[in-house]
Structure 1
């Protein structure tokens, strides 16, 4: 243990690993059984730490759990994998009440050291440390959860080929944690049949105190109800425009992101075509408040790939010169765009727009403007360009709007879109289209 480091009472950065044993204090279990579970986990942790000497800078047992502070993210992730693989083997032969399940929370951030009156060393304390403990508390059995700050650091390094862990990180949405006033992003570290648990996180809200002790006057309830009904009516009217093929709906980018979220929540079998080059697409669609790729990635994660064989495609429709120039001019964003598709098993193809005029002319209902998103069996979304308007309140920051047209399954636009994508997929399957991958990227960058 690095005691010199902890003697300094200055701000330091650490990786926080919290673990506890699910149900270890169950009164139906004998004390002997409870202690055996604690000993097994304690011994696993001790043996692993011994194999990676001086990796931890602080550790503290908390009965059936432990806090360990590391200097890098490799240590807590590898420790999590080691524990899960070993308890998986142990559980194969253990009796039902002897089986071990753990919860793990991992965070990253700054901490201050202080004398806690218990340990000889200075103990760490900080906001991200508390977050790591909080997300461990909401984890399901054998689930490994990460805070947003920890996820961003690991994922960013992964995108630049600095680690192997990024492909095993899954967004579990925003969660309200104990004593927190804002929602926190939470992520799962999971690899099928090896480690982690990728189940959705659920938590309950106790409404009994509100129901029992709060009495609302009619003068309060009636205005609130009218307000909600009026806003709901406005929303329905807006969606009438959205599904009107002659009008469409023009909305701000925050609402655009919400529409993407709703559509992806309701459908996972998605295919798309865009007229935007890779660099421009990545910068626009991957950033808040749109987050199209984030919503699509969540939908892909929910699919049961073992039981359902699906192929996912995205087609780039443009002249080759435009595509190649974008890759050269926006190397980082283009590479990230291409890597996203390879990591999420979405096949990315290029189509020279002049080569498919014979296909495009057959489907007049499709607006070939900026893009087309198709959810099989659900709906098709045609989206136009993003437009800027003068912001009277702040002319340095114009108002951004985007126009949409949404068509449900069974409509003529939906049927034409279905046939349109069937033709494109057929061309791809017969190797008539160019695949956009790392080889294509390297060829353009290296000029070969």
Structure 2
């Protein structure tokens, strides 16, 4: 037997150190070639580190949250073969996202055969319950953790069927179906006193999000502006286009119309499509409109970028928004797809509330927030009519954007949305 030492690889872009975000293996685990060993966080993205060999994990080189230098020992794996010590950098890392979903882990059935393969993991037995150590924290999204908490389920007892053993909502349902939870206890149990608590280390993507939000609020002079918009006409147009072309071109949401409205409005307000370097005291206005579309995932907020929105049709924008959102949520978005935006569009969809105060995506100077659509009685030409109304809650950097300009910019978007034909008049 020999020991294969895997060192932290050079991820490129001049990066000298990275943060170890999460281990997907522990000492004693059997791993196969190309299986994801760990996630590391750079300044721009989460990166998967795969194994170059088959073998057994005998030592880990760091703890989650630790900053490690490129070239430092990441992990040691016992392999079959000569007894000499072998060293290598991990295979080319795979950029996951600026916020990743669960990484993909190759299973035994999918692993590549090799003439000198080391020991392979035994097949995982199926079933809803699994024994873990009391201090072992299973992989699960925040939503699944809350769901388990509401049901009174201890996650460490639930077998995860997702990537890397991640516990999914379906696994909670399977657990309940087996009668292995006290969730079906009498209703009085819901009023029992609770004294449990959970400490969650702020590392990896959550740390990056926290740092960026804190940096944005400390450096930029935020101010927000809220305007009410009648979206009845554009919703009618959207429904008509989907009925006529949805089967052949794909369904349209409101977002591609808003992207188009941004593109058109920015022609008269180029100061909104800009980046501000506050250290160099330089504002860079850009002709290209690269729209960041804020996207929620299990691990936090990501902002994939629709590049050159000024050159895209409605359906082209819709397809790109859908592709990028799916890539971000599944951990397949590249670092290039998660950087380089010039203005950001953020929406909470049906949960959009009445008003929000979005935080700027520095170094941008404007972010447009979309709230939910509601039907309300409105007075038009002396008549009370039911209209579909929506608020835009937008924020700007007051260091470089004047309040009057921000208001006029949003009013321009309002005019385009309320008279949707003007979106396409050149």
Q: TM-score, normalised by structure 1?
A: 0.26
Q: TM-score, normalised by structure 2?
A: 0.27
| Higher helix proportion | 1
Q: Which structure would you say has the larger RCO, counting Cα contacts within 8 Å and 6 or more residues apart?
A: 2
